[in-house]
């Protein structure tokens, strides 16, 4: 057991997880590691991949001594994040978290065997203020308030673009002589998308988003989730609610941040991960259960979504 730990009142080990003073960190109570990369002018990237060897809690000590805003995502796995104000936030791939937490006391609760792949991009307030326009700075409110300590966190839907940017940070192509430029660009874009999603511009007008269109969108979402094995396409889903495919896509983007096809793919991948994690089905069976007739197509879609193959997920559960 890692030294320096103490037990919480319920007997679960509590480990300090200090992210200061280095660029590579082992994860207490787990196999794996966290790495950090500091770019010029106040932008930091954290990448972590680990598997918990025991049920435990990590008490995080961040690396910055100044106020910061961060966007973070679990590409794989689930944890529970406990904020210093006592709130608990389930962390999973469907949601990205935009947060600013000035005071100590943030914890992550891990379950034994949980495999987590985590991305976090953090920027100082000065770095953000130099790059945000006046309207966005106003909309962000407490996130940029320098007059007091702040603890704010906003869970937003992970869009396909945000997931793609996060996945690219782990990809082999992130190596090479221009690696830092590539990583800095993807990290900044990920944080920008998280901010834009958390604080969207007010639409000029929205009278055309009629009630029937909202009902049609909800019916489509329910139809997708009711049978992920069905051979649904944007065109067939749109026809079922008497709507054009382009209009259905716009409604999905406005409501979920993803177009219809990306939403359908994300729902299938989330369900596939859960089935693989159960350890009761072969990859071929899981592919069929979420609407893929060909295992090869399923494996490519799964790798693009999670950054690893479905067979690797399956092997961890055996």
CATH of the structural domain 211-316, one choice from 1.10.10.1590, 1.10.1040.10, 1.10.10.60, 2.102.10.10: 1.10.10.60
pLDDT surpasses 70 at 315: no
* pLDDT at position 174: 55
Q: Which of 71, 113, 117 is closest to 303 using CA atoms?
A: 117
Tens digit of each residue's pLDDT (9 = 90 or more) over 228-260:
999 999 999 999 988 899 999 999 988 888 899
Instruction: State the Cα–Cα distance between residues 305 and 163, nearest whole angstrom.
Output: 7
Same fold, 6-198 and 211-316: no
Q: 63 falls in which pLDDT band (50, 70, 90)?
A: confident
Helix (H, G, I), strand (E, B) or coil at 220: helix
Q: 179 falls in which pLDDT band (50, 70, 90)?
A: confident
Q: 62 falls in which pLDDT band (50, 70, 90)?
A: confident
Most confident of 7-11, 189-193, 311-315: 189-193
Buried b (16+ CB within 10 A) or exposed e, 291-308: bbeebeebbebbeebbbb
To the nearest whole percent, how much of the chain has pLDDT over 90? 58
Query: What distances in angstroms separate CA 123 from CA 48, 72, 76, 143, 268, one per listed residue?
Result: 18, 12, 23, 11, 33
Instruction: State the Cα–Cα distance between residues 143 and 120, nearest whole angstrom.
Output: 17
pLDDT surpasses 80 at 286: yes
Helical H segments across the chain, by residue range: 125-129, 134-140, 160-168, 179-198, 211-226, 234-240, 245-256, 260-278, 283-289, 295-306, 310-316
Residues 73 and 163 sit within 8 Å (Cβ to Cβ): yes
Residues 214 and 226 sit within 8 Å (Cβ to Cβ): no
Q: 311 falls in which pLDDT band (50, 70, 90)?
A: confident
Q: 201 falls in which pLDDT band (50, 70, 90)?
A: confident
Residue 30, H or E segment = strand 30-39
Beta bridge partners of 90: 80
Domain map of the chain by residue range? 6-198, 211-316
* pLDDT at position 93: 82
Helix (H, G, I), strand (E, B) or coil at 183: helix
Q: Which residue has the higher pLDDT, 202 or 158?
A: 158
* pLDDT at position 81: 96
Specify the range with the lowest mean pLDDT, choosing from 219-223, 272-276, 311-315. Answer: 311-315
For the chain, the maximum distance between any two Cα atoms, rounded to a whole number of angstroms, is 62
The fold adopted by the segment(s) 6-198 is Jelly Rolls (2.60.120)
SS (H, E, C) 235-275: HHHHHHCCCCHHHHHHHHHHHHCCCHHHHHHHHHHHHHHHH
Q: Which residue has the higher pLDDT, 138 or 204?
A: 138
* pLDDT at position 45: 94
Instruction: State the Cα–Cα distance between residues 293 and 49, nearest whole angstrom.
Output: 31
pLDDT surpasses 50 at 262: yes
- Classify the C-alpha dihedral 277-280-282-285 as positive or negative: negative
Q: Which residue has the higher pLDDT, 203 or 238?
A: 238
β 13-18/56-61 pair status: parallel
Q: Which residue has the higher pLDDT, 36 or 207?
A: 36
Tens digit of each residue's pLDDT (9 = 90 or more) over 107-156:
999 999 999 999 999 999 999 999 999 999 999 999 999 999 999 999 99
Q: Which residue has the higher pLDDT, 211 or 230?
A: 230
Global pTM reads 0.74
Beta bridge partners of 24: 35
Beta bridge partners of 124: 68
Q: 46 falls in which pLDDT band (50, 70, 90)?
A: very high
């Amino acid at each position: 057991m890692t030294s320096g730990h103490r037990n919480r009142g319920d007997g679960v080990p509590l480990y300090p997880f200090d992210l200061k003073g280095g660029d590579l960190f082992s994860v207490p109570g787990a196999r794996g590691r966290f790495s950090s990369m500091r770019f010029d002018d106040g932008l930091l990237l954290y990448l972590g991949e680990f598997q918990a060897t025991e049920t435990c809690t990590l008490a995080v000590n961040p690396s910055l001594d100044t106020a910061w805003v961060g966007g973070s995502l679990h590409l794989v796995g689930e944890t529970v994040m406990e904020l210093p104000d006592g709130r608990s936030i389930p962390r999973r791939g469907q949601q990205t978290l935009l947060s600013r937490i000035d005071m100590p006391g943030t914890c992550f609760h891990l379950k034994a065997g949980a495999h987590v792949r985590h991305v976090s991009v953090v920027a100082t307030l000065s770095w953000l203020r130099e790059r945000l326009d006046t309207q966005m700075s106003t909309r962000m409110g407490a996130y940029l308030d320098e007059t007091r300590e702040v603890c704010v966190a906003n869970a937003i839907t992970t869009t396909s673009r945000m997931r793609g940017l996060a996945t690219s940070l782990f990809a082999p192509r992130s190596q090479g002589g221009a690696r830092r430029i590539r990583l800095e660009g993807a990290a900044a874009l990920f944080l920008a998308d998280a901010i834009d999603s958390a604080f969207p511009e007010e639409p000029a007008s929205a009278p055309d988003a009629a009630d029937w269109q909202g009902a049609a969108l909800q019916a489509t979402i329910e139809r997708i989730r009711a049978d992920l094995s069905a051979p649904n396409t944007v065109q067939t889903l749109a026809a079922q609610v008497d709507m054009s495919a382009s209009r259905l896509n716009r409604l999905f983007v406005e409501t979920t941040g993803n177009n219809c096809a990306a939403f359908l793919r994300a729902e299938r991948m989330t369900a596939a991960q859960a089935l693989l994690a159960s350890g009761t089905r072969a990859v071929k069976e899981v592919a069929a259960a979420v609407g893929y007739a060909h295992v090869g197509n399923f494996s490519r879609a799964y790798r693009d979504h999670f950054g690893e193959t479905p067979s690797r997920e399956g092997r961890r559960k055996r």
